[in-house]
Structure 1
Amino acid sequence: MHFVTRITRRLAQFNSNFSHSIAMAQSTGTLNFEEVRAGLEKKSLIYMDVRNQSELQSDGKAVGSVNLPLPEIIEAFASSDVDFKNKYGFDKPDKSAPLVVGCFAGKRAAAAGEQLTSLGFNNIKVYPGSFSDWKSNGGPISKE
C-alpha cells in the first residue's frame, strides 16, 4: 500500500507541475519581431533584454530595449525604486506594465518570464527569437 501512496503523490506532483508550466506559458504568451518592433516604436511596451552586460557590449542590443540580466531579476525587483533606477537606468516597472523579455535566442527570456510572473507581474510576453531574430530581421541595433 505504501508504494501506491508514493506513486499517487508523485503523479499529483507531476500533474501540478505540468499544470503550472502550461499556465505560465499561457499567461506569458509570445510576441514576434514585428510586434516587438511596433511596440518599441509606439512606446507601448518595455523590451527587457536579460543578457549579461558583456553580451550587449560585444553584440549590441535592440534600440529602445532596456537591460536587466537574468541572474539579477529577483534582487532588482526587491530593491527600492530609486536604487533600481540608479543601477539599471530605467524606472522600475509596475506589476501591470507591458513587459517583453528577450535574450540571445529565447531560453533565458522564457526563464525571465517565469521569474517575473512569480513576482506578480501579469502582463509579460516572451520574444522567443530574441536578439538573434531581431538582428536577422534587420532590427536597429545599438552598442553600449
Structure 2
Amino acid sequence: MNIKIILGIFLLFGITTATAQQSSFIRAQDVSAVQQQDYLLIDVRTPEEYQEGTIPSAINIDVENDAFRSEVEKIDKNTPLIIFCKLGGRSETAAEILSNLGFTNVKEIEGGFEAWRAVQEGK
C-alpha cells in the first residue's frame, strides 16, 4: 500500500477523532430553548463573577479552581452540559477538560455570559 494513502488514512482518522471530542457551540439566543431539554448549565467563572449575575438555574464550578476536576467528576458523564464563562476563553478550557474526562455532550455558549446578557437586554 502506498505510504501517502496510509498517512492520509491516519490523518483523516485523527481529524475525525479530534472533532468528535470537541464541544459544540450554542447561540446565546437559543439557551432558553435548550435549557428545557435536561441540560445542566455550568457557569465556569469565579464565585465573585457568579455572584454578580448568572443565567438562571446555572451552578458555579470555577474552572480556574484546583477543585474543578473533582467537582465535575461528581456529574454523570452522560449528562448533557451547557458551559459558559464571560466571553468564551475559560469555557473552551473547561470543555477540553470535560472532554478528556469522558463527557460526551458538552455545549459552550458562543460569546459567553456577555452574549447571553446582550440577548436578554435586546441588544
How far, CA to CA, are the matches of 2:72 and 2:60 in structure 1?
13
Q: Is the 8 A contact 2:43 2:85 kept in 1?
A: yes
Larger Rg: 1
Structure 1, unaligned runs of 5 or more: 1-15, 79-91, 140-144
Query: Runs of 4 or more off by more than 4 Å in structure 1?
Result: none
Structure 1: which amino acid aligns with 2:86?
A: F
TM (norm. structure 2) is: 0.75
Alignment: residue pair count: 109
Q: Is the 8 A contact 2:81 2:105 kept in 1?
A: yes
Q: Which of 32, 47, 55 lines up with 1:62 in the alignment?
A: 55
How far, CA to CA, are the matches of 1:68 and 1:126 in structure 2?
14
Structure 2, unaligned runs of 5 or more: 1-10
More helix by share: 1
1:45-60 equivalences under 5 Å are: 45-58=39-52, 60=53
**Alignment RMSD:** 2.7
1:93-112 equivalences under 5 Å are: 93-112=75-94
Q: Is the 8 A contact 1:48 1:66 kept in 2?
A: yes
> What's the counterpart of residue 18 of structure 2?
23
Tell me the secondary structure at the aligned position of residue 61 of structure 1: coil
Displacement of 1:120 after TM fit? 0.7
Q: Is the 8 A contact 2:42 2:81 kept in 1?
A: yes
TM (norm. structure 1) is: 0.65
How far, CA to CA, are the matches of 2:19 and 2:61 in structure 1?
21
Structure 2: which amino acid aligns with 1:44?
A: D
